[in-house]
């Protein structure tokens, strides 16, 4: 079976989704203070470097994904349709949201590269943009017809199932991270109150 230009673009897009999902999961492991030496696989493993490289790969594939469409004959995409997809020949809304995802992803990767110059506080604020990038990317991947014909979405298509799995996985891990952050903040507040109470008792004595 021959692989068409649209097939190739779709496959590259799916790998980009996988790379973004991996990048998010590794970032959340850092938030959980996961140590591969204390936990599985019980050996030194620089997953911070893998986190960075997964971001670079995701951005590269996200750029390649629409660029391949320039080779497609029907519908015909021009460079302007990729840069300004609101007037693209097929599915302009989905393509525009995909372009927004690409811009946000590029912003996250560039600011991460400059994180030492930006400072941790400012960089971290920028870095949360990855969640908006992922949301836009998942929307684009789920609601775009790979054949670019505007046909109804087949939610049980292999590619759609893969994106649905990635989306559900990120949603669950994000919820766990939110609960972890809340428990950690509550613990810190409790320690602060205990310290203040202890200090007040000492002053009375």
68-96: pLDDT as tens digits? 999 999 889 999 999 999 989 999 999 99
Q: What percent of the chain has pLDDT over 90?
A: 63
Give per-residue pLDDT as tens, 106-145: 999 999 999 999 998 999 899 999 999 999 999 999 999 9
Judge whether residue 205 has pLDDT over 60: no
Place of tokens 């009375």: 204
Judge whether residue 199 has pLDDT over 70: no
Q: CA 136, 61, 68 angle in degrees (round to 5)?
A: 100
Instruction: Tally Cβ neighbours within 10 Å of residue 12.
Output: 19
Q: What is the pLDDT of residue 203?
A: 63
| Phi/psi of residue 42, nearest 5 degrees | 60, 45
Q: What is the pLDDT of residue 15?
A: 97
What does the pLDDT average to over 172-179? 86
Judge whether residue 200 has pLDDT over 70: no
pTM of the model: 0.86
What does the pLDDT average to over 179-201? 75
> What's the domain count of the chain?
1
Range of the domain at 145: 5-204
Place of tokens 């019980």: 42
């Amino acid at each position: 079976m021959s692989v068409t230009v649209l097939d190739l673009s779709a496959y590259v897009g799916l790998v980009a989704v996988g790379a973004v999902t991996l990048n998010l999961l590794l970032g959340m492991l850092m938030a959980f203070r996961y140590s591969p030496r204390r936990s599985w696989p019980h050996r030194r493993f620089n997953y911070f470097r893998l986190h960075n490289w997964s971001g670079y790969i995701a951005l590269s594939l996200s750029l390649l994904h629409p660029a391949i469409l320039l080779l497609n004959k029907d519908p015909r995409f021009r460079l302007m349709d990729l840069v300004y997809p609101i007037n693209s020949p097929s599915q302009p809304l989905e393509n525009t949201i995909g372009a927004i995802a690409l811009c946000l992803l590029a912003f996250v990767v560039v600011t991460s590269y400059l994180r030492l110059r930006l400072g941790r506080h400012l960089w971290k604020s920028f870095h949360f943009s990855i969640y908006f990038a992922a949301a836009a990317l998942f929307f684009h991947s789920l609601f775009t017809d790979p054949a670019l014909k505007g046909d109804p979405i087949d939610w049980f298509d292999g590619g759609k199932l893969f994106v649905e799995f990635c989306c559900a996985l990120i949603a669950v891990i994000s919820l766990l991270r939110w609960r972890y952050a809340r428990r950690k903040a509550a613990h810190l507040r409790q320690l602060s109150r205990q310290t203040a109470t202890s200090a007040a008792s000492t002053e009375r004595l």
